[in-house]
Amino acid sequence: MLKQRILVVDDDKEIVRLMRGYLEQAGYEVLAAYNGETALHIIRRERPDLVLLDLMMPEKDGLEVTRLLRSDPLLAQTPVIMLTARVSDTDKIVGLEMGADDYITKPYNPREVLARVRASLRVRTSLGGGVQSKVLRSGGLELDTGMRRVRVDGREVSLTATEFDILQVLLEQGGFVLERGELIRRALGDQFLGVDRTLDSHIRNLRRKIEPDPQKPRYIQTVYGVGYRLGD
């Protein structure tokens, strides 16, 4: 069985060395880059299963790398966990709205990072792996679970891995209301319970991409005080 590959991107070589040790011990193959430009070359060439990405770096920072990944249809679903010393909610929201799947602040425990990596990859496997491909539809919205493609009124839409997983869970519920915690658990994993702001950022991004009018959502509807449901 091929090992899953993680790209660790940080200009601090000691952090890269430390994370490489933890990840390799956990059974992952580790690639490394020390600036954003090199990271992009490696991602395009090697197609890692997940990227651990520092925010503050030379030659393209983490936000720019994430923006470029999300604008490339071939790479848009690569999971990205952003690692940064910035701790304000505003900085976290900016990172998530640029397309990061998760956000961990320094200093961090490498075991926590490893747990987040496992949770992210496990959710991808449980939602898309080992299950017969199927197409889920609601109105003009169409999601192919095998090809991991989304179309709205025949137009293909590029989603991040986390956005795709959230939308898949909502479609599979067929219009039933999902409480916020349940949606987080099913789409992101138990590791993310309690991080409602993260879910809100991903929902905002999804609405911008799939809704005819994000201010009056047709597909992803808020059930105030409860959670979300898929509209007809």
CA pair distance 140, 151, nearest whole angstrom: 8
Helix/strand number for the chain, H first, E second: 8, 12
Q: Say yes or no: 123 and 10 in one domain.
A: yes
Write the single-letter amino acid at 100.
Answer: A
Higher pLDDT, 17 or 146: 17
Please give the full DSSP string across 7-27, using - where no structure is assigned.
EEE-S-HHHHHHHHHHHHHTT
Domain boundary at 127, 159, 186, which? 127
Q: How confident is the model at residue 146 (pLDDT cuts 50, 70, 90)?
A: confident
Q: Say yes or no: 14 and 119 in one domain.
A: yes
**Cα angle 56-4-96, degrees, rounded to a multiple of 5:** 35
Q: Say yes or no: 88 and 177 in one domain.
A: no
Task: Compute φ and ψ for 151, nearest 5 degrees.
Answer: -125, 145
Identify the bridge partners of residue 105 per DSSP, sorted by sequence position: 84
- What is the pLDDT, as a whole number, of residue 48? 94
Q: Say yes or no: 78 and 59 in one domain.
A: yes
- pLDDT tens by residue, 152-205: 999 999 888 888 889 999 998 888 898 988 888 888 776 555 555 678 888 998
Q: Say yes or no: 101 and 179 in one domain.
A: no
The fraction of the chain above a pLDDT of 90, given in percent, is 39
Mean pLDDT across the stretch 52-80?
87
CA pair distance 151, 7, nearest whole angstrom: 29
Q: Say yes or no: 221 and 149 in one domain.
A: yes
- The whole-model pTM stands at 0.66
- What is the pLDDT, as a whole number, of residue 11? 92
- pLDDT tens by residue, 130-142: 445 688 999 899 9
Instruction: Using the predicted structure, report yes or no on whether residue 128 has a pLDDT greater than 70.
Output: no
- pLDDT tens by residue, 79-106: 999 888 766 666 677 777 777 888 888 8
CATH number of residue 214's parent domain: 1.10.10.10
Q: Say yes or no: 54 and 139 in one domain.
A: no
- What is the pLDDT, as a whole number, of residue 56? 86
**Cβ count within 10 A of residue 194:** 8
Q: How confident is the model at residue 45 (pLDDT cuts 50, 70, 90)?
A: very high
CATH number of residue 101's parent domain: 3.40.50.2300
Q: How confident is the model at residue 209 (pLDDT cuts 50, 70, 90)?
A: very high
Q: Say yes or no: 136 and 206 in one domain.
A: yes
